Amino acid sequence: MNLTEIGLRALKPPEKGQKDYFDDTIPGFGIRVSQGGTTSFFLFVGRKGARQRLAIGRYGIITLAQARTKARELLAERTLHKHKPKTITFGEAYDAFKELKFPELKDRTQSDYSRILDTHYVPKLKHERLEDITPDAIYRFTDKLVKTPSERSHALAVGRTFFKWCVRRRYISHSPLEGVELPKIASRKRVLNDEELVKVYRAAEQHGYPYGNIVQLIILTGQRPGEVAGLRPAWYSHNQQTITFPPGVLKHSREHTIPLGPRAIALLDGITAKHGYFFPARGKTDRPFSGFSKSKRALMRLLPDVDPFTDHDLRRTFSTNIARLRVQPHVKEMLLGHASAKGQVEAVYDLHDYLDDMREAVLRLDQRIGSLLAAA
């Protein structure tokens, strides 16, 4: 067909997947319309059996005339043999990133980067050549996280770090996220009330392993979602009834020991650890669970009458409930693993671990949750 501005505006999204419309005036040039209504120009180049699809840009950001001009330039460069050889794929660069960059990072940061890149980037970009990845290609999936602004900001931040590393390695000349501004995140104040907390705990029981158990442990221990997902059997002591996070796992980089209440102990004792994790990633034996987004959606389907909340809201709820039990602020901060629990001078001179105080606080919270569950 002969693409025109009027014709483009009349194109309707397909019921499923994507549909390509080719332009009669330039071989291989056309526009792709996705189910969600996104329309993007492309150009197919190369011989049959080894064709490559080059992204040109989203319709609306660039015009049909601009897209045609760019397509002609690309074809001319290939005809004159001025086009640059393709760089490695995103997947190949990511493998190199894990091999070369990860050893320099804390375990917590490695887990965080893996979760973001595996969840958001790899499914969409794994087989794409780095130099073909446009800002538009990234925004297509990060824009869908608008209802979870913290996750959206985090996804862009990790992507920006990854592509900057690719530039330093000379895999690409510039990052597709160069100069991107991260969305501003409003400070959250969501704390679940007692009725909501009981419903979430029961739904997590119904949801089961692994994500449901992770949610229960966040409620019972107040630890960060990534820290709970990354729990290793070697850190857990049934006899001491504690978890000891080694240096580098938490934000403050120090070893951190927390006591456990009866419910958390029963949960961990009931899990058969695999590949060195209580919650290993599905099909990947070298990393912890990372499927938060999909699992959270499934959990929320069990909670139709509970307002949306994040996993971190459960940690804030833990902190609030601990404070309601009149636990001393410094004990609460130590349970949460905050570096501010001890000042810089205290960290040097006060070596007391306050474990007994933390254990008393955890037991009181465990009893309170038990009472709420029994009364529901």
Per the structure, how many domains does the chain have?
Answer: 3
Report yes or no on 181 lying in a domain: no
Domain final residue, candidates 55, 79, 103 = 79
Same domain, 147 and 280: no
Q: Do 223 and 349 sit in the same domain of this protein?
A: yes
Residues 145 and 248 in one domain: no
At 285-318, the pLDDT tens digits run 678 888 888 899 999 999 999 998 989 999 999 9
**What integer pLDDT is reported at residue 17 of this predicted model?**
81
Are 87 and 129 in contact by the 8 Å Cβ rule? The answer is yes
330 with 206, same domain?
yes
Q: How far apart are CA 14 and CA 25, in angstroms?
A: 24
Tell me what the mean pLDDT of segment 219-244 comes to: 94
- Tens of pLDDT, residues 248-278: 787 666 888 999 999 999 999 999 998 899 9
Q: Give 88-134 pLDDT, tens digit per residue.
A: 899 999 999 999 999 888 777 888 899 899 999 999 999 999 988 99
Specify whether 66 is located in the same domain as 106: no
Q: 162 pLDDT exceeds 60? A: yes
Instruction: For residues 262 and 303, state if they share a domain.
Output: yes
Q: Are residues 199 and 343 in the same domain?
A: yes
83: exposed, middle or buried (C-beta count within 10 Å: 0-12, 13-18, 19+)? middle
Average pLDDT of the segment spanning 228-255: 89
| Residue 366, domain extent | 194-375
Question: Which two structure tokens, joined as six digits, stand for 296?
Answer: 């959270």
Contacts of 233 (CB under 8 A, 6+ apart): 273, 276, 277, 278
Domain check: are 248 and 369 in the same one?
yes
> Can you give the pTM of this predicted structure?
0.61
Specify whether 71 is located in the same domain as 142: no
